[in-house]
Amino acid sequence: MSTAENHNPAAATTTFAQRLDAVRARIDRACAAAGRDAAEVTLLPVSKTFDAEVIREAVGLGLNRFGENRLQEIAQKAPLLSDCNVQWVVIGHVQTNKAKEVAKYATELQSLDRLALAEALDQRLKAAGRTLDVLVQLKTSPEESKFGLDPAELVGFLETLSGFETLRVKGLMTMAILSDDRAAVRACFKKLRDCRDEAARLNIKGISLERLSMGMSGDLELGIAEGSTEVRVGSALFGQR
């Protein structure tokens, strides 16, 4: 793990505070362009691959939720930041055998994509006597490499999840196709919103679909244009990985 300054020549000329201001300005501009209130869009800083001292600096600027994609990395950093009241948000693919670590460290999981993981989490959360906020990750792009539930299975999955008392469904998450074609990226975000709107009409008991986590450093404007309530931003804040 290394700091932004080691990797990104551009970042070396700016401070974390300046990059944070710049990202917030992008969010504000995108909200204004979409006729939305900037207070509707949350920034989730994605600190994966950056070390605890960088996160500590971000905490000093008032951030306290951080997105990470590996449980092992959270387990390394959490003890070093035990005085910081950090909330860890898991955004990456989780193996079923890592459910125990999710229950131990995570305040939230945005990458719930299958029943086997929900069952393992439910068991571990019950044992820990706690609940977990979750977003269901949908696969909105045709890329083989992308994780996520098939959108056609969303309603059935939500109906099953409504039976798990430990899992509090708050919305949906997706990663767009990796492409320079902005229309193709935007179509992924539109797909997520359409799936949400359709499922929300069913009013499934105990299921909230208010949150849409979509948009990253390269495409947060497109996510906001399509109704994102949360953008997950790594490199634009922390530097290249």
Ligand X SMILES: *Cc1c(COP(=O)(O)O)cnc(C)c1O
Which residues bind to ligand X, rule: CB under 6 A? 46, 48, 69, 91-92, 175, 216-218, 232-236
The distance of closest approach from Cβ of residue 24 to ligand X in the complex, given in angstroms and rounded to an integer, is 14
Q: How far is the CB of 46 from ligand X (least distance, A)?
A: 4
Q: Of 130 and 182, which has the nearer Cβ to ligand X?
A: 182
Calpha distance 169→210 (Å, rounded): 9
Nearer to ligand X, 178 or 202 (CB): 178
Q: How far is the CB of 163 from ligand X (least distance, A)?
A: 27
Name the residue with the smallest CB distance to ligand X.
234
- CB 159 to ligand X: min, Å: 25
**Cα separation of 92 and 142, whole Å?**
18
Using CA atoms, how far apart are residues 136 and 5, in angstroms rounded to an integer?
A: 34
Least spacing, CB of residue 188 vs ligand X, in Å: 13
**Residue whose CB is less far from ligand X, 227 or 234:** 234
Rounded to the nearest angstrom, the gap between the alpha carbon of residue 62 and the centroid of all alpha carbons in its chain is: 19
Nearest to 234 by CA among 33, 60, 2, 67: 67
CB of 203 to ligand X, least distance (A): 29
Q: Which is nearer to ligand X, 151 or 234 (CB)?
A: 234
188 burial class (0-12, 13-18, 19+ CB within 10 angstroms)? buried
CB closer to ligand X out of 196 and 232: 232
